[in-house]
Every structure is written in structure tokens, then in C-alpha cells.
Amino acid sequence: MGALSHIKVLDLSRVLAGPWASQLLGDLDADVIKIEKPGSGDDTRGWGPPWLADGEGQPTTDAAYFLCTNRNKRSLTVDITRPEGQQIVRELATDADVVLENFKVGGLAAYGLDYASLAALNPRLVYCSITGFGQDGPYAPRAGYDFLIQGMGGLMSLTGRADDEEGAGPQKVGVALTDILTGLYACNAIQAALLHREQSGQGQHIDLALLDVQVACLANQAMNYLVSGKAPRRMGNAHPNIVPYQDFPTADGDMILAIGNDGQFARFSTIAGKPEWTSDERFATNAARVKHRAELIPLLRQTTVMRSTAEWITALENAAVPCGPINDLAGVFADPQVIHRGLRRDLPHAAGGTAPQVGNPIHFSATPVEYRRAPPVLGQDTDAVLRELGRDDAAIAVLRDAGIV
């Protein structure tokens, strides 16, 4: 029995932030029912190539993007714009613990599937709404997308080469990080609301906005601004508060140095054959190194190019100086630590063959994560879920013929 094996989740969300939250709840053993539009389903099913291959090596209609965030779910096709479809969702919500949705503000009220309508049927319901800008405020009616929010929320002002470097300019992060972080916040908030319900008996509405999450996750950079009044600028791979903490060239490529204290810097200086750096007042402390960054970094680059990446990593790891390679994804999934931790999984898929998955990073001692279901094909569980609601085969056939499921 997983940690959330007693929880039923009704997932009306699409694309990434909401499905990321519901996948995590599913990994924790919640019963997640994914509501999808008949005929097309979640938008990300079509966000390919690449496409998942079936048992004969032929491409399916499900994109890799969809596979990243929809395991451990059951797929139920329902047209929520039709009264009969709305009734199915209401019946499911009556018995559900959680509803998760990411429609525009007020979008589900027209169908009687908003929080107020469903909470009237099930006061214990925890209802999580994910939007770009929240349920109120001047931007509430706007649609929100990860790329847009990375720009508006300040992340792109901090990401990319410095203004005085070739190729300077704002950059988005290479994955939809704001969506991912919002999914994690949503999962955390849902579980907190469930714990509150255990004591109060009452559910509640969770209002979660991508913009709020992005600003909250600016972390030390936000505080650097709030304390100093000066907006941080792009610094490439450098760190605003720690030196050296960035990439450096080697004889055959690049490596990362992540030196977080003066003791580590002293050990690095010895291994690099530059023990005098430790006693140089410009470099002896981190505060001094930050101040004299422009003098130290060129000296470091002149030194690191004298050995290969592997030689540096071996020498520095033996001295407990944090360092590492810059892997592509082939290197990531071939890394012995990644392999040991089980971060690649292959699950049997309904279309035949297997669906590769990236493992959940949580390791419980008593309620381990289970990989029960590959991401479902569209409508894979429609009949089963409808039978649980009391529909017989004839009633299901009528719904299907009418295009409701």
C-alpha cells in the first residue's frame, strides 16, 4: 500500500503543470483518473516527434512529451461540454478526494464543474486550480504559458550570457521549469489540504498561479534584489554570491567547479599548483573572490586547460572539491550513479512494447513509489471507470455512439 492509496484524484488538467502534480500523486499510489477530450485527448499526445513505438516498432500517436507526465493514471474520455459528460464528472467528484484543473479562470463554471458547484456535492473535496496568473488580480483572465512566465517572472533576466559577452541576451531554461515547479507546489498544497481535512472534515480551494510560483522560486536572487535594491544581471554560468562556481575549460572539453567555501578553494589551489592563491588577500576568502572575480576567473581558466576533464575530476574528487562533467542526456543515463538509483524505468505499454520513463526521485523506507501503469492510451480505462459508476455495457455504448465518451 502506497502513501496515498486511499486517495482518489480526478484530473481535468492538461499539458504539464497539472499532469506533473497528478503523476506525482499517482506515484504515491493515489487512484488518478485523467479526464480527456474524446478523439484527441491531452494536447501533448500530439506534441511530437518523437513518438512512442508500438510492439512492432511502428510509431504510435502518443508523443514522448505526453509520456513524461502521465504514468500511474487511468484515461477516461468525456466531453465535458455536453450535459451527459458533465454528469459523469459530477458523479466522479462526489466520490473523489481531489480535483485538479488548469482551465482559464471561470472556465469550468459554465459547465457546473467549478469549485463551488462540486463542493456543494462533496464538501470534503480538495479542489486545486492552476492558472497563469491566479483567480484574481488584473491579469487573472489572461492565458499563461511557461515561456511567457519565465520572462515576466524574472527568470530570463538572470539566465544567459552577460551583456558584455558574445551571444548575450535573455534565455529561457531548457525545460519548462515554471510548469514543473508549479506541479510540485500543487502536489505539496494538495497533500497539506488533505491533512487539514483529516482534522476539520472540510475540503478547500487551492489557487495556484504560475507567475506566483516563478517569483517565489527566484530564491537568493530575489533576496539579493530586495536587500540591495539592485536588480541582478545575467552572469552566464557564474554565481552571484560564490566564486569560483561555474564552468571552466579543460584540455579536452569543459567541467564545472562548485567551490562553496574557503577550505575547498585552498585544496583546489594546492592541486592546481597555485598554493599562493590561498594567501593572496584578493582570493583568500569568498567575499574577496567575489569582489575580485574579474581577476581570478582568467587565472583559473589558464590553469584548468592544462589537464583533461577526467584528470581534474579524479584529482579534485579525491580532495573533496566539488566538480563534475557537463553531460548530455546520453551521458546522464549512462552514468553509474543514475543507473544505480533507478532513474530509467521501462513499463509495459497498452500499444505493445514498453514506454521508457524517468524514475521518481523519492525513496521511501516504508511506502515505496510504484510504477503500476505506463501512460495510458486515449480512453484506455473509459469502460472500466464507467462501470464503477454503475453504467452497464448498453449504457456505455449509447454514450460512445453519441460521442460523449
From first to last of its 405 residues, the chain has per-residue pLDDT tens of 899 999 999 999 999 999 999 999 999 999 999 999 999 999 999 999 999 999 889 999 999 999 999 999 999 999 999 999 999 999 999 999 999 999 999 999 999 999 999 999 999 999 999 999 999 999 999 999 999 999 999 999 999 999 988 889 999 999 999 999 999 999 999 999 999 999 999 999 999 999 999 999 999 999 999 999 999 999 999 999 999 999 999 999 999 999 999 999 999 999 999 999 999 999 999 999 999 999 999 999 999 999 999 999 999 999 999 999 999 999 999 999 999 999 999 999 999 899 999 999 999 999 999 999 999 999 999 999 999 999 999 999 999 999 999
Taking residue 195's Cβ as centre, other Cβ atoms within 10 Å add up to 10
**Helix residue ranges, H only, 37-125:** 64-67, 83-94, 115-121
**Helix residue ranges, H only, 177-217:** 177-200, 210-216
Are the CB atoms for 16 and 182 separated by under 8 Å?
Answer: no
Task: Delineate the domains of the chain, giving CATH numbers in brackets.
Answer: 8-216+339-401 (3.40.50.10540), 245-326 (3.30.1540.10)
Q: Which three cell numbers stand for residue 252?
A: 579536452
Are the CB atoms for 205 and 134 separated by under 8 Å?
Answer: no
Are the CB atoms for 352 and 52 separated by under 8 Å?
Answer: no
**Per-residue pLDDT, 126:** 98
pTM: 0.93
Peptide bond into 322 cis (omega under 30): no
In the set 179, 207, 212, 381, the catalytic residue is: 179
Q: Is 345 helix (H, G, I), strand (E, B) or coil?
A: strand
Left if phi > 0, otherwise alpha if psi is -120 to 50, otherwise beta: which for 134? left
Are β-strands 74-77 and 31-36 bridged in parallel, bridged antiparallel, or unpaired?
Answer: parallel
Give CA angle at 147 (14, 376), nearest 5°: 25
**Per-residue pLDDT, 138:** 97
Q: Which three cell numbers stand for residue 330?
A: 546520453
**Per-residue pLDDT, 40:** 95
Q: Is 179 a known active-site residue? A: yes
Q: Which three cell numbers stand for residue 96?
A: 473523489
Burial of 138 (0-12, 13-18, 19+ CB in 10 A): exposed
**Per-residue pLDDT, 36:** 98
Measured between alpha carbons, how far is 368 from 355 in angstroms, rounded to an integer? Answer: 21
Residue given cell 581534474 in the structure block: 312
Q: Is 132 helix (H, G, I), strand (E, B) or coil?
A: coil
**Per-residue pLDDT, 164:** 86
Give CA angle at 99 (98, 101), nearest 5°: 145
Helices (H) and strands (E) in the chain, counts: 18, 13
**Per-residue pLDDT, 166:** 87
**Per-residue pLDDT, 300:** 97
Compute CA distances 168 → 153, 198, 231, 341, 378, whole Å.
Answer: 19, 52, 17, 37, 43
The DSSP call for residue 239 is: -
Compute CA distances 98 → 16, 122, 163, 342, whole Å.
Answer: 18, 10, 46, 29
Q: pLDDT tens across 174-228, in order?
A: 999 999 999 999 999 999 999 999 999 999 999 999 999 999 999 999 999 999 9
Measured between alpha carbons, how far is 358 from 355 in angstroms, rounded to an integer? Answer: 10
Peptide bond into 141 cis (omega under 30): no
Measured between alpha carbons, how far is 62 from 41 in angstroms, rounded to an integer? Answer: 10
Beta bridge partners of 117: none
